[in-house]
Amino acid sequence: MARQPPERDNAPAVQKLRLRYAKRGRLRFTSHRDIQRALERALRRAGVPMAYSSGFTPHPKISYAGAAAMGAASEAEYLEISVTERLDPDRVRAALDAALPPGLDVVDVVEAAPGALADVLQASEWAIQLPDVSAGQAGDAVAALMAKGEVEVERMMKSGPRRFDARGPIVRLAADSGQTTSGAPCAILRLVVRHATPAVRPDDVLTALRQVAGLTPPVPPLVTRLAQGPLDPESGTVADPLAADRASVDDAVAANPHPR
């Protein structure tokens, strides 16, 4: 005999919002679960009227798009929330940002257009800072990797070690010279990678660079996701994934200029 979950008169969702947030500085060491908890609490603190799932343990309705790994900073993480009353996205952005600890920063909020967020998050652009590596060294390694058609790497997954091609999904990879936060010269890799299964991450690309060209950074690299969104295959650039949502809201405002 199965237990029946208690009846709850949870208010229905009337609006879906898409959020872009950044994970900066020391908060790049948060895991995805850490961020989930922090976000749920911030939503409560900010008084955002969340829609809840039903069942024994109701959860606020939040869906996360592929999150950057622990240790990687990001300027472009995305998620969707469902709320039970219509809200001004800008106010939600300010209120939620104020309720989150510094370093988890809400950058943008828009009302969601129809269609799945995951469908527009096709590729990512990354910056990989390599302290104590020269741009020349890095450039040689990049050239060696890009000359290959396929480079198989291995990564430890929850299910055990898994081998996959790290070269195929790379759309663009270039080495530049730059500076670390303390002002020391270093190499900076710019990477555009198509989202595949499993997702090829910057550390997989670094593994491939080590395998192909023996590039071994002496200090752990500082990795930052700069953008996520639709991929323009011609230019190899990543566009704003919320552009379509913004356009559809503009259309709605044009049709009905005085909501509420």
Partner 1 sequence: MSAEPMTTVAAAGAADTVESVFPQLEALLPLVQKPIQYVGGELNAVSKPWQSTTVRWALMYPDAYEVGVPNQGVQILYEVLNEQPDVLAERTYAVWSDLETLMRQHDVPQFTVDAHRPVGAFDVFGLSFATELGYTNMLTALDLAGIPLQAGERGDEHPIVLAGGHAAFNPEPIADFIDAAVIGDGEQAALEITALIRDFKAEGSPGGREQLLMRLAQTGGVYVPAFYDVEYHDDGRIKRVIPSRPGVPWRVSKHTVTDLDAWPYPKKPLVPLAESVHERASVEIFRGCTRGCRFCQAGMITRPVRERSITGIGEMVEQSLQATGFEEVGLLSLSSADHSEIKEVAKGLADRYEGTNTSLSLPSTRVDAFNIDLANELSRSGRRSGLTFAPEGGSERIRKVINKMVTEDDLIRTVTTAYGNGWRQVKLYFMCGLPTETDDDVLQIAELAREVIKTGREVAGRKDIRCTVSIGGFVPKPHTPFQWAAQLDHETTDARLMKLRNVIRDDRQFGKSIGFRYHDGKPGIVEGLLSRGDRRVGRVIEAVWRDGGRFDGWSEHFSFERWMRCADQALADLPVDVDWFTTREREFSEVLPWDHLDSGLDKDWLWEDWQDSLNEVEVDDCRWTPCFDCGVCPQMGTDIEIGPTGKQLLPLTAIGAGAEALRG
Binding site for partner 1 (CB under 8 A): 1, 3, 22, 24-27, 29-31, 33-35, 37-38, 40-48, 52, 56-58, 70-71, 87-88, 91-92, 94-103, 105, 181-182, 219-220
In the complex, the smallest distance separating the C-beta of residue 114 from partner 1, rounded to whole angstroms, is 25
Q: Please say which residue, 44 or 247, places its beta carbon nearer to partner 1.
A: 44
Task: Give the SS3 label for residue 195.
Answer: coil
Q: Please say which residue, 67 or 96, places its beta carbon nearer to partner 1.
A: 96
In the complex, the smallest distance separating the C-beta of residue 204 from partner 1, rounded to whole angstroms, is 16
Q: Please say which residue, 32 or 162, places its beta carbon nearer to partner 1.
A: 32
Nearest residue to 236 via CA among 204, 196, 205, 190? 190
In the complex, the smallest distance separating the C-beta of residue 37 from partner 1, rounded to whole angstroms, is 7
Nearest residue to 35 via CA among 84, 91, 103? 103
Q: What is the chain's Cα-based Rg? A: 21
In the complex, the smallest distance separating the C-beta of residue 171 from partner 1, rounded to whole angstroms, is 26
- Per-residue burial over 154-187, b = 16 or more CB atoms within 10 Å of its CB, e = otherwise: eeeeeeeeeebbbbebbbebebeebeeeeeeebb
Side-chain half-sphere CA neighbours of 251 within 13 A: 9
Q: Please say which residue, 58 or 168, places its beta carbon nearer to partner 1.
A: 58
Q: Please say which residue, 105 or 108, places its beta carbon nearer to partner 1.
A: 105
The CA distance from 32 to 196, in Å, is 19
Q: Please say which residue, 178 or 230, places its beta carbon nearer to partner 1.
A: 178
Nearest residue to 71 via CA among 243, 168, 202? 202
In the complex, the smallest distance separating the C-beta of residue 1 from partner 1, rounded to whole angstroms, is 7
Place of tokens 């989150």: 100
Place of tokens 């690309």: 205
Q: Please say which residue, 4 or 256, places its beta carbon nearer to partner 1.
A: 4
Bridge partners, residue 81, by sequence: 17, 62
The CA distance from 194 to 49, in Å, is 35
In the complex, the smallest distance separating the C-beta of residue 165 from partner 1, rounded to whole angstroms, is 25
In the complex, the smallest distance separating the C-beta of residue 224 from partner 1, rounded to whole angstroms, is 12
- Kind and range of the H or E run holding 207: helix 202-213
Its sign, for the CA torsion 168, 141, 238, 156, is positive
